[in-house]
């Protein structure tokens, strides 16, 4: 009597890793990457994991982006804030406002940098202010720009007088910087907003 061979292979009920059981707490997906960058990716992920363990509130968004919504809408009141006595009649919400929509026009081209020094005080930029910088905006004269001068970052107003490119300070106590061929300058982007704590 000839017996048929037992069927093997295929999916088995209950086999495999359960959904959401990875270190990320969600379903993962395999991707194809060049072999040459695998060590760099592993190092990056390991570094993010360590940072998230050391400072969870600050770095958890890097390791677990799904836990942090990209859009947070907060109430926007219609009445403007006056220095005098407030009017109760204006105390109602017109709509909600997402600061991402207000401050960031092109997310892929935007980054943040913290200001240092007092050379731009008259432009409303104070030490430790956070600057919103857009790399997609053309750095034309009159714009406040973030640029690297011989490898060091600075924020100044870009000016062009008689064909001379100058990085102008907004504080009379500081000198302007005239760009010449001996200075290596790379403009990183244009400052669009300043986040200033009071």
- Residues 6, 19, 60, 119: which is the catalytic one? 119
- Residues 156, 164, 175, 193: which is the catalytic one? 156
> Does 119 qualify as catalytic in the annotation?
yes
Instruction: Find residue 161's DSSP bridge partners.
Output: 164
> Does 156 qualify as catalytic in the annotation?
yes
What is d(CA 45, CA 98) in angstroms, rounded to the nearest whole number?
30
CA atoms within 13 Å, Cβ hemisphere of 68: 10
What is d(CA 152, CA 183) in angstroms, rounded to the nearest whole number?
11
Beta strands in 22-129 (DSSP E): 73-77, 93-98, 110-114
Tokens, residue 48: 């993010």
Q: How deeply is 159 buried, as exposed, middle or buried, from its count of CB atoms within 10 A (0-12, 13-18, 19+)?
A: middle
Residue 160 neighbours by CB under 8 Å, 6+ apart:
141, 166
What is d(CA 113, CA 189) in angstroms, rounded to the nearest whole number?
11
Tokens, residue 52: 């998230």
What is d(CA 104, CA 133) in angstroms, rounded to the nearest whole number?
9
Catalytic residues, by residue number, are 119, 156
């Amino acid at each position: 009597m000839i017996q048929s061979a037992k069927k093997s292979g295929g999916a088995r009920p209950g086999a495999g890793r359960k959904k959401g059981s990875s270190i990320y707490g969600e379903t993962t997906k395999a991707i194809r990457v060049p072999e040459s960058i695998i060590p760099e990716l592993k190092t990056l992920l390991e570094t993010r994991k360590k940072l998230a363990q050391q400072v969870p509130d600050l770095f958890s968004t890097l390791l677990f982006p799904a836990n942090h919504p990209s859009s947070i809408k907060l109430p926007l009141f219609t009445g403007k804030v006056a220095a005098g006595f407030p009017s109760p009649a204006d105390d109602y919400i017109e709509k909600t406002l997402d600061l991402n929509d207000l401050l960031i026009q092109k997310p892929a081209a935007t980054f943040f940098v913290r200001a240092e020094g007092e050379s731009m005080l008259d432009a409303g930029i104070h030490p430790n202010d956070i600057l919103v910088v857009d790399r997609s905006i053309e750095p034309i004269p009159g714009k406040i720009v973030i640029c690297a001068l011989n490898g060091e970052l600075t924020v100044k107003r870009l000016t062009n007088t008689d064909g001379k490119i100058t990085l102008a300070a907004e504080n009379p106590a500081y000198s302007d910087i005239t760009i010449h061929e001996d200075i290596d300058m790379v403009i990183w982007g244009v400052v669009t907003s300043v986040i200033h704590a009071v």
